[in-house]
Structure 1
């Protein structure tokens, strides 16, 4: 253990209480008679509870640790992530929340398959769900490993294994009901932690945003975190925005519209009682996460302000070294320790754990639905009895949960918000075009849906993992916006070609009825 390091007992106590609550809740909701109970909590979650659970699901390690971390590391440019993450919910409210709930199925592949009557579209939807969710899970495990290292001086690999096992157990046993109650509590823990992190420096210490930014803008020195000259003027101005418009626009489009394509977020709208409740839920979510995204960039800038002054601000060598080595991911817990000692550190670390637990739980439920409901039941064995379907759901949850271990190892040296941004890129280019066109364009055909899904999956895969092999003009830091536009074009062209060849026969036979359900009044 590092010399001079003390285990923050307050943090351990708070995390222990939160985990104890999780265990009790999981045990209370261990019985699920049907797959609808397991995946959707019986479709009976009220708007405020659902909004808190969705906010907890959405405010992942990327939001709780990553946004402030990017603001700490890159300054003004880090605010782009907060802006994109927030605006995405407006697109979700306008285009998808109510129609999807009115359609009344279990998962995103359900919608694609039953809207166009295609098993191939369902299988592609399952691939898309897994692709998005596993990319999203990796940075959550990264956040868990880093926070456990700061908290207990624990080895990164050990932390990944412990956290993965905890989450897998409570999701597998509690299903969506247990997960929803846990996420409700976890949201208010993480929101309260971020509120305190902003309240103490702003109100008690008097660190106004203007004073902080002015000091940083005039500061120049070698940055221990990067080994390069730190130019405060560049840090506090939108340099990246102005010098690389292509990458910035693609990133913003990915963050904004990727939100409306995230499977673990979309599935929660199926838990609402009806379309009105789904719309009301999104409005509550906008209020909750809007307040959060105002606070988190401020915290990132304030801890950079403290870091630059170092000894003059009383920053301990231990916390200074953590910021130099891991500020991109650990600015928030370090800020907690600096501004509030063990007590605030405990609350903040509990908030970070809450963010990680709730998001990974939502991802496991979404992936279990894709594997258990969409693939095993609807493609391989439609006549499977309900009791067996619940067992399949639990088995799929265990499989996905344990995948978090290798994903955490692969993500160890990456930045959380940047990695989550890539998951948003896949969601924006894979699901958002297909869902929006499927909901709002009556002349979209089965071939159009398949073309859109294939373009999104293959395009994002190639441009993220095969970036080094592409021409310079096709290399994006985040290709989501670019691939999304191509996917929209693929849907339109493929649908037009099929319609030209087959006429009205190219359209699903029940298109008018489906459109009436999606955009008509609530069904009684």
Structure 2
């Protein structure tokens, strides 16, 4: 890719410093004696550090690059992503954070297996974790390829391989402790970058949101370079992209409730010392990501404003070409270069790099837990000694991390936030129904749990990957809300049928003890 500008030294220095810090931290925490140390940092992470790490884990390439990119691309409809990503934590706070921590296991499949005493449920949970995590990892690698290409003029494939190897190394060696410390630092880098991207145009350039939206709404004509017609009135109104109510509602439900089903986010609540700390963590997260999601759509709309005026605002030809070719993923780096030159571009690229490192690390930990802890240990070898469990965790981390390479190749032509939205669809339709019903409905049965997981996994698979083969009324841009409702229905129907046929024997024998544990006072 011909960039037309000098390699940003600031970005290289910042990323170099961040990688040096990552290596030092990794070796500081390289010793893990137990699987709880590796997967959960010994369950001793305080609320503010955990909140910063969760926010970093959550504010992935989809949020840092994708939300502004989809706002740049689709206008008002892009704000739905920011809204949905934020509101999901309210559901997590209300329904799941404290009960899951009180249950006190390692992973999401742990909960579904031990709540219903079912190896089948555990295996289905593992499939769900891997399905979600791999779908989520693909757009992170896409962001990595784009940012590294921008930074070093590397081709996309080389960038993907380098990033995958870096992240796999530090997660495999350092485990959750090193990952948590790195995510803490990475969050404040990426948040600082987004804050500057909004502060400079708003406070220093005087581009208020009202002025920007008014200009966009009144613009009607062809866009620079591409020559495509741009209808500003449609861009600033609902239904520019989401042209039907069913698509809008399904997407919103997927984003809102998918958050409460993401395995790499849920596993972080097991690192809290207790249920109260888990609830406090979510409150901090709501504050941190709420500020972020106020800023990112504004940045996307400002860059659309700048792009439409082009040369009149002194935008260089190479920045205009970037926006024309790949504004859906590069709006944020372009904003950095335009508003702050090489220095702000360097900070923004470092922020994007931090977002990608942090999220992929979380996904590797969650997937390694599903493979190593849930499958290898609990299904095949429950008596495995602790030291061997740590070795299995590391091997699983290497395998999952290197899978990022083919996933990045597959995702090259896609839009980051839209692709991540599909991972949220799978999470909303698999784990959210099973976790919520398992935590709050005492009469849920093992068959109901398995039915919900199967419905979510199979329904998501066919409605995402087999969309073209379905009748038009079943084709969704994001099917998460629709499949989620089907999963709730499957859980309720199968549980009722089992209870009607078997009575109390259809329920797990320790249902009331588990309900007391989940909803009773904190145990000493």
| Deviation, structure 1 residue 16 | 0.5
Give the whole-Å Cα distance in 1 for the aligned partners of 2:232 and 2:132.
Answer: 36
Do the aligned partners of 1:212 and 1:301 also contact (CA within 8 Å) in 2? yes
User: Which residue number in structure 1 is paired with residue 267 of structure 2?
Assistant: 267
| Deviation, structure 1 residue 220 | 2.0
Give the whole-Å Cα distance in 1 for the aligned partners of 2:227 and 2:444.
Answer: 53
Which aligned runs of 4 or more in structure 1 are off by greater than 3 angstroms?
224-227, 240-243
Which residues of 2 match residues 226-245 of structure 1 at below 5 A? Answer: 228-240=228-240, 243-245=243-245
Do the aligned partners of 1:240 and 1:248 also contact (CA within 8 Å) in 2? no
With structure 2 as the length reference, what TM-score do the two structures score?
0.99
1:433 and 2:433 aligned: yes
| Deviation, structure 1 residue 6 | 1.1
Which residues of 2 match residues 447-466 of structure 1 at below 5 A? Answer: 447-466=447-466
Q: Show CA shifts across 1:244-280 (max 9, x none).
A: 1010000000000000000000000000000000000
Give the whole-Å Cα distance in 2 for the aligned partners of 1:81 and 1:423.
Answer: 13
Give the whole-Å Cα distance in 1 for the aligned partners of 2:53 and 2:11.
Answer: 23
User: Which residue number in structure 1 is paired with residue 184 of structure 2?
Assistant: 184
Shift in CA distance, 416/226, structure 1 to aligned 2, threshold 3 Å? farther
Q: Show CA shifts across 1:195-251 (max 9, x none).
A: 000000000000000111111111122235765311111111113488410100000
Do the aligned partners of 2:29 and 2:178 also contact (CA within 8 Å) in 1? yes
Do the aligned partners of 2:75 and 2:240 also contact (CA within 8 Å) in 1? no
Secondary structure, counterpart of 2:444 in structure 1 = coil
Q: Show CA shifts across 1:69-128 (max 9, x none).
A: 000111111000000000000000000000000000000000000000000000000000
Give the whole-Å Cα distance in 2 for the aligned partners of 1:182 and 1:4.
Answer: 33
Secondary structure, counterpart of 2:221 in structure 1 = strand
Do the aligned partners of 2:121 and 2:449 also contact (CA within 8 Å) in 1? yes
Give the whole-Å Cα distance in 2 for the aligned partners of 1:250 and 1:227.
Answer: 33
Give the whole-Å Cα distance in 2 for the aligned partners of 1:359 and 1:276.
Answer: 25
Which residues of 2 match residues 253-264 of structure 1 at below 5 A? Answer: 253-264=253-264
Give the whole-Å Cα distance in 2 for the aligned partners of 1:304 and 1:110.
Answer: 46
User: Which residue number in structure 1 is paired with residue 115 of structure 2?
Assistant: 115
1:522 and 2:522 aligned: yes
Secondary structure, counterpart of 1:230 in structure 2 = strand
| Deviation, structure 1 residue 440 | 0.1
Q: How many residues align?
A: 524
Give the whole-Å Cα distance in 2 for the aligned partners of 1:173 and 1:188.
Answer: 23
User: Which residue number in structure 2 is paired with residue 149 of structure 1?
Assistant: 149
Give the whole-Å Cα distance in 2 for the aligned partners of 1:176 and 1:86.
Answer: 24
User: Which residue number in structure 2 is paired with residue 164 of structure 1?
Assistant: 164
User: Which residue number in structure 2 is paired with residue 7 of structure 1?
Assistant: 7
Give the whole-Å Cα distance in 1 for the aligned partners of 2:241 and 2:89.
Answer: 22
Do the aligned partners of 1:71 and 1:78 also contact (CA within 8 Å) in 2? yes
User: Which residue number in structure 2 is paired with residue 42 of structure 1?
Assistant: 42
Give the whole-Å Cα distance in 2 for the aligned partners of 1:465 and 1:331.
Answer: 28
Give the whole-Å Cα distance in 2 for the aligned partners of 1:109 and 1:328.
Answer: 35
Give the whole-Å Cα distance in 2 for the aligned partners of 1:503 and 1:4.
Answer: 72
User: Which residue number in structure 2 is paired with residue 94 of structure 1?
Assistant: 94
Secondary structure, counterpart of 2:172 in structure 1 = helix
Shift in CA distance, 4/62, structure 1 to aligned 2, threshold 3 Å? closer
User: Which residue number in structure 1 is paired with residue 443 of structure 2?
Assistant: 443
Give the whole-Å Cα distance in 2 for the aligned partners of 1:270 and 1:253.
Answer: 25
Q: Show CA shifts across 1:130-178 (max 9, x none).
A: 0000000000000000111111111000000000000000000000000
The alignment yields a C-alpha RMSD, in angstroms, of 1.0
User: Which residue number in structure 2 is paired with residue 421 of structure 1?
Assistant: 421
Give the whole-Å Cα distance in 2 for the aligned partners of 1:220 and 1:8.
Answer: 36
After alignment, is 300-309 or 4-13 more displaced? 4-13
Give the whole-Å Cα distance in 1 for the aligned partners of 2:17 and 2:236.
Answer: 40
Do the aligned partners of 2:3 and 2:153 also contact (CA within 8 Å) in 1? no
| Deviation, structure 1 residue 2 | 2.5
1:513 and 2:513 aligned: yes
Shift in CA distance, 347/199, structure 1 to aligned 2, threshold 3 Å? same
User: Which residue number in structure 2 is paired with residue 404 of structure 1?
Assistant: 404
Give the whole-Å Cα distance in 2 for the aligned partners of 1:388 and 1:194.
Answer: 42
User: Which residue number in structure 2 is paired with residue 18 of structure 1?
Assistant: 18
Do the aligned partners of 1:62 and 1:416 also contact (CA within 8 Å) in 2? yes
Shift in CA distance, 388/173, structure 1 to aligned 2, threshold 3 Å? same
Shift in CA distance, 461/114, structure 1 to aligned 2, threshold 3 Å? same
Give the whole-Å Cα distance in 1 for the aligned partners of 2:168 and 2:143.
Answer: 17
Give the whole-Å Cα distance in 2 for the aligned partners of 1:138 and 1:521.
Answer: 41
User: Which residue number in structure 1 is paired with residue 346 of structure 2?
Assistant: 346
Secondary structure, counterpart of 1:417 in structure 2 = helix
Which residues of 2 match residues 212-231 of structure 1 at below 5 A? Answer: 212-223=212-223, 228-231=228-231
| Deviation, structure 1 residue 4 | 3.4
Q: Show CA shifts across 1:407-451 (max 9, x none).
A: 000000000000000000000000000000000000000000000
Do the aligned partners of 1:225 and 1:325 also contact (CA within 8 Å) in 2? no
Give the whole-Å Cα distance in 2 for the aligned partners of 1:413 and 1:275.
Answer: 42
Q: Show CA shifts across 1:170-191 (max 9, x none).
A: 0000000000000000000000
Which residues of 2 match residues 51-90 of structure 1 at below 5 A? Answer: 51-90=51-90
Shift in CA distance, 246/173, structure 1 to aligned 2, threshold 3 Å? same
Do the aligned partners of 1:333 and 1:348 also contact (CA within 8 Å) in 2? yes
Give the whole-Å Cα distance in 2 for the aligned partners of 1:117 and 1:443.
Answer: 14
Secondary structure, counterpart of 1:67 in structure 2 = helix
With structure 1 as the length reference, what TM-score do the two structures score?
0.99
Give the whole-Å Cα distance in 1 for the aligned partners of 2:97 and 2:242.
Answer: 34
Secondary structure, counterpart of 2:75 in structure 1 = helix
Give the whole-Å Cα distance in 1 for the aligned partners of 2:484 and 2:251.
Answer: 11
Give the whole-Å Cα distance in 2 for the aligned partners of 1:195 and 1:456.
Answer: 37
Do the aligned partners of 1:241 and 1:248 also contact (CA within 8 Å) in 2? no
Do the aligned partners of 1:225 and 1:327 also contact (CA within 8 Å) in 2? no
Unaligned runs of 5+ residues in structure 2 are none
Do the aligned partners of 1:190 and 1:351 also contact (CA within 8 Å) in 2? yes
Do the aligned partners of 2:3 and 2:318 also contact (CA within 8 Å) in 1? no
